[in-house]
Amino acid sequence: MAFVVGLTGGIGSGKSAAADEFARLGATVVDADAIAHQLTQAGGAAIAAIRGLFGDASLDASGAMDRKKVRERVFADAAARQRLEALLHPMIREEAQRCIASASGAYVVHVIPLLVESPDYRRRVDRVLVIDCPEEIQIARVCARSGLAKEEVRDIMRAQASRAERIAGADDVIDNGGTIEALRQQVRALHTRYLKLAKGTRS
């Protein structure tokens, strides 16, 4: 079985940038968000069930889940959020396990935004890596890339674990409050460590 590093962090912390660097170094990246996008795109395996839960208004003109509308709904309605999670999370876990089982890299980096919030995921990884940065940097990055207002980003952050909670659950932490090169240096150092740990697991 592959050695699996669970990579997590708050919105805008730089999870994708870190994962891209691990992939460049030869790790297999399995991204829960990317799997969720596949499931909820037009023709995706979750679309019929989403329509059943939330009606045709939850889909956009292409037939994909309208992420903005659904996000607004589940943030306003905890029961709706629970129904969506109960639908998507098992499907995401199943597809992720298939990807991990067929991984060809020296080890797997499993990107899980809500790893700390999901004890089931914690049991599925060998090590937890948190990408961390100051909250104001998170907000600035998300506003710049998505066009969301600052308060909308803060709402998303409030629904996630706090920085302190994530760091408390971490085996390793990358400080991504600086430059992309500083991030890459930290990834390279951890890559060397994970290669040794993966080799030890196999032997």
Interval 66-106: pLDDT, tens: 998 998 898 888 899 899 999 999 999 999 999 999 999 99
Return the pLDDT at 51.
95
In DSSP terms, which residues pair with 111 in a beta bridge? 7, 31
Q: Which residues contact 150 (CB under 8 A, 6 or more apart)?
A: 139, 143
By the 8 A CB rule, do 176 and 183 touch?
Answer: yes
Question: Token pair for residue 66?
Answer: 């309208």
Residue whose C-alpha is closest to residue 50's, from 34, 67, 26, 33: 67
In this prediction the pTM is: 0.89
Q: Which domains are delineated in the chain?
A: 1-27+106-203 (3.40.50.300), 34-104 (3.40.50.300)
By the 8 A CB rule, do 29 and 19 touch?
Answer: yes
Q: Which residues does the chain have with pLDDT short of 50?
A: none
- How far is residue 133's CA from residue 175's CA, in Å, rounded to a whole number? 6
Cα atoms in the 13 Å half-sphere on the side-chain side of 83: 15
Identity (one letter) of the amino acid at 26?
G
Question: Token pair for residue 199?
Answer: 């080799």
Return the pLDDT at 16.
95
Return the pLDDT at 42.
95
Three-class HEC string of the chain: CCCEEEEECCCCCCHHHHHHHHHHHCCEEEEHHHHHHHHHCCCCCCHHHHHHHHCHHHECCCCCECHHHHHHHHHHCHHHHHHHHHHHHHHHHHHHHHHHHCCCCCCEEEECCCCCCCHHHHCCCCEEEEEECCHHHHHHHHHHHHCCCHHHHHHHHHCCCCHHHHHHCCCEEEECCCCHHHHHHHHHHHHHHHHHHHHHHHC
